[in-house]
Structures are given as C-alpha cells and as structure tokens.
Amino acid sequence: MNIIDRFLKYVSFDTKADGNSSTCPSTPGQLVLGKYLEEELKSIGLSDVSQDKNGYVYATLKSNTDKKVPTVGFVAHMDTSPATSGKDIKPQIVDYKGGDIKLNDEYSILEKEFPFIKNLVGEKLITTDGTTLLGADDKAGIAIIVSAMEHLVNHPEIKHGDIKIGFTPDEEIGRGADLFDVEKFAADFAYTVDGGPIGELEFENFNAASGNIEIEGKVVHPGSAKDVMVNALIIAMELNSLLPSNERPEHTEHYEGFYMLDSLEGDVSKANMSYIIRDHSSEKFENKKELLQNAVDFLNKKYNNAIKLTIEDSYYNMREKIEPHMEIVDIAEQSMIELDIKPIIKPIRGGTDGARLSFMGLPCPNLFAGGYNFHGRYEFVPVSSLEKGTELVVKIVENLEAK
C-alpha cells in the first residue's frame, strides 16, 4: 500500500480522545484502529504483534544482521485531539500552486494568516474539507512508521537490528504513556514520530501541570443582594486577572511558558475553571504553580475560602533524560543531513509520549511527522513529508547497523 492510501485509511477511523472518560483507551474508536493496525503489522511480516487490553499495539521487526546493534523503537499515537471533531473526515488532495487554499465555501487556509504556505508551492497537500481536523497528529506518524517497516521487510539487503514498534492511545489527553509496557517493549531507546513540519528534531519539551479550580458562590435575589451575594463567576474573572496577561499562549513563543485558561463554566452559585501550566525551565514551572496558588490564597482571604485549587503535574522536560544519550539525537540529525533534510532542532511547545517514556527509562526524542496546523480544520500534511519521514526512519535504522 502506498503511503497516501495508508494515511487516508487511518484517518477514516474516528479516534478522538475524551478527557472526561475514565477508561483506557478513552474512546472505542482507538481500539478499532488498533485492531486494524495489529492485523496490518502481521500482514507485512512483523513478529510479536499484539494489542493489549488497554489498546496499546506492540510489534517487532526481527534483526537480520549478526552484528550487535542497539534495539531501537518507534512510537506514535492513535488518538486525535478532542478540540475538533475527528468523525467522517473527508480529506482533499491539493496540487498547491500558491495563494489561498479553499477548504469549503466558508473556510480557507489564507496565505495572509499562514504565510509559511508560500514555501510549499508545487507540493501535493492533504487537507481537510473544513469541517473536521485531519488527524495527521499523529496518524501521519503511524503511516510513516508502518511504511518504513514494510520497506525494510521488502528490502532484506538493508541490515538492521531488532526494531520495536509501539502505538499508544490517549496521548492528546496526557495519558499516552500511562500504561505503556516499557519492559515488554524492550528497546534501548526510541523515537516518537509526532512532530510538525519536515526537519523537526526535538529532545526538550514543556514541564506541564493542570490546575483545576472549584468556586463556591452564594445566591440570593439580586434585589436584596447587597453585602450578601457572592458571584462565583465574578471570582473566576478576578482570579484570572491576577495572572500575568503577557504569559498566555497567544503572547509567548520559543522557551516562554504560559498559563492557559482552558475552560470556564458555571453560574452565580458555582464555577469551575481549568488551567494548563507550561514552562521549559523547571524553576519557572514551579514559580508559575506557586503564583497560581498565591492568587487563590489571596482571594480565599477575601471571599471566605470560596475557592478550592488542585494542581497536578502532567509531564516533565525530557531534556535531562536525553542529554546523557545525545548520540541518539546525533544519529537522527546525521540521518536527516544524509537525506538532504535540514534539521530543525528546537524545543517542543507541548509534550509527547516520549517525554513520559524518557522518565520511565526509555530515552525518546521526537521526529517530525510532517503536518501543519494540528488540532483544527486548517490542518494539512504535504505528501513529500510523509515520504521523507519514511526514508528517515529507514536511514536511522541503517546508520545504527553501520556504526
């Protein structure tokens, strides 16, 4: 199967994650895609293929060399973001000649909003029809890995050691590595294929936490509310105003962290807020959590302990776990250079399963999957990025054996 057809097949599965679900995987569509992948991996000749009860898919391409070669893994996730519908995706293939890209009568990828598309003139792009996300995050990564394994099976003259494959559920809601069996995976190191545009190579990411807030108000008739009513929504607005406005996602870049008000719902009597807290620096990360706690403590003195805050860490910057193994980053970088791919080494303004896996004893930097504008209707992926991603996985495997 060519990589376009493979990718289009994968995005036909509705695998939108659900952060409100307590099951693993959080949605049944992920199990369905996982079962399909299990059968596909068996059909192309991989060994030890299984989908476990939690939806994780594992497989091995056995070594075909007598040399002692490190066991490398490649990991991608099956779920798509809960931010936008992933049901009934209708991809469009566009031979891009420049200018705006019409998705439907209401939505277009506008050159003035996404000026980087000027660099993609002449490319074949897979876009949405403007009603859903595409699912390149991370079904492009899955397609790249499976296509690379199929190429290696069909070209036994390419020597390699054992190669491990892992496909995870629920990465988009921060649970992708929760039940990953590192011992069963049995790789010396791995790469997630979960990055953005071609050339991305990442070994550092945000430290991340969630802040969940419950606010208890007091309801009385507004006509007799003086000095009695406590409006939970007003407290929520006041709390948000105490956080630095320049430290929001829309005002930050590079190594700058942020607070993001992710949801706010309620009424006068009760309100619930959720924040995500991010920073690459562990010191600044701790300071951000402390500032949110201080803001709550300040308002609790004013409003008689009306606010309850729970902060939970989600993942940490994998840099400290990768730096002792920088040779695995160097191999990926050299492999890109050999394929005329310009390496773009930068911090992830987010997280991957690789961050958690690195702290679980599996050093795991991140490779590009090729897509742009993840999580929304403007998402797209160039076909050439899928093809180059496949070549990169093969080249990394070749270079490991050649060392």
Q: How many CB atoms lie within 10 A of CB 264?
A: 17
Structural tokens at position 5: 């057809």
Rounded CA-CA distance 325/306 in Å is: 48
Phi-psi domain of 373 (left: phi exceeds 0; alpha: psi -120 through 50; beta: other): left
Structural tokens at position 92: 């469009």
Answer yes or no: are the C-beta atoms of 190 and 74 closer than 8 Å: yes
Dihedral, 380, 383, 385, 388 alpha carbons, nearest 10: 160
Structural tokens at position 24: 């693993």
B/e letters for 76-103, b = 16+ CB within 10 Å, e = fewer, are bbbbbbbebebeebebbebebeeeebeb
SS3 44: coil
Most distant CA atoms of the chain, gap in Å: 85
Q: How many CB atoms lie within 10 A of CB 15?
A: 28
Answer yes or no: are the C-beta atoms of 365 and 329 closer than 8 Å: yes
Rounded CA-CA distance 252/284 in Å is: 14
SS3 106: coil
Rounded CA-CA distance 78/263 in Å is: 25
Question: Where in the sequence numbering do the catalytic residues fall?
Answer: 79, 171
Rounded CA-CA distance 64/57 in Å is: 23
DSSP letter for 117, please: G
